[in-house]
Structure 1
Amino acid sequence: MINTKTLIGSALAAATSLAATAAYSGPAAQPSFSFEKCYGVVKAGQNDCQTATHSCAGTSTADNQPDSWLYVPAGSCAKITGGSDKSKA
């Protein structure tokens, strides 16, 4: 049986970890390579941007949201099916 101290310690560690993760909620840093923003090709939760429907990087709720973008190497967005250098929203 798990003792009370272990249970409380585990709960506190989980709560602290969750709070630290939630506190980051900001935009993705610009990459060091030559880049462009590619809209409409981002998997849910992998976006690099803030949009009208969510507030920070990593918070898109659906795949291929038309207003969510991802940093990609310059010139490569046009090569991605569904990719656009302009917001589709």
Structure 2
Amino acid sequence: MKDKSQMIRATLAGVMAVSSTLLATNALAVPENPKQWEKCAGIAKQGMNDCGALDGKHSCASQAKIDNADNEWVYVPKGTCTKITGGFVAAIKPAK
């Protein structure tokens, strides 16, 4: 009986430890998705663009050939693009 009680206590302690770790990790995670986004050009790294090039050279994500190209863009929370060095809000729709 004593062994069963110790096993239950150890199991509960383990579950609580894992729960605490998950809560702490979630608190450090990226904040909730913003409600509004904007296309920010000039900041995408090679192969990390979100969609088609602004000049229509390609129509898919992850095809940027160089870092920080003016025709490549990524989505950022609205109002943050111009705060990023080299970033500007893209006004042209990408190729389809």
Report the Cα distance in structure 2 between the residues aligned to 1:66 and 1:42, rounded to whole angstroms: 9
RMSD: 2.0
Is 1:82 the counterpart of 2:72? The answer is no
- Cα deviations across residues 14-56 of structure 1 (Å, max 9, x unaligned)? xxxxxxxxxxxxxxxxx76311010010001110121222220
Partner of 2:75: 71
Q: Which sections of structure 2, spanning at least 5 residues, go unmatched?
A: 1-32, 92-96
User: Any idea what SS the aligned residue of 1:78 has?
Assistant: helix
Runs of 4+ in 1 over 4 A off after TM superposition: none
Amino acid at match of 1:53: K
Could you tell me whether the CA contact under 8 Å between 2:38 and 2:78 is conserved in 1? yes
The one of 36, 43, 46 equivalent to 1:44 is 46
Identity %: 46
**Which one has the largest radius of gyration?**
2
Which structure has greater helix proportion? 2
Could you tell me whether the CA contact under 8 Å between 2:73 and 2:90 is conserved in 1? no
Report the Cα distance in structure 2 between the residues aligned to 1:32 and 1:76, rounded to whole angstroms: 11
TM-score, normalised with respect to structure 2? 0.54
Is 1:55 the counterpart of 2:59? The answer is yes
TM-score, normalised with respect to structure 1? 0.58
Q: Which sections of structure 1, spanning at least 5 residues, go unmatched?
A: 1-30
How many residues are matched? 58
Report the Cα distance in structure 2 between the residues aligned to 1:75 and 1:56, rounded to whole angstroms: 25
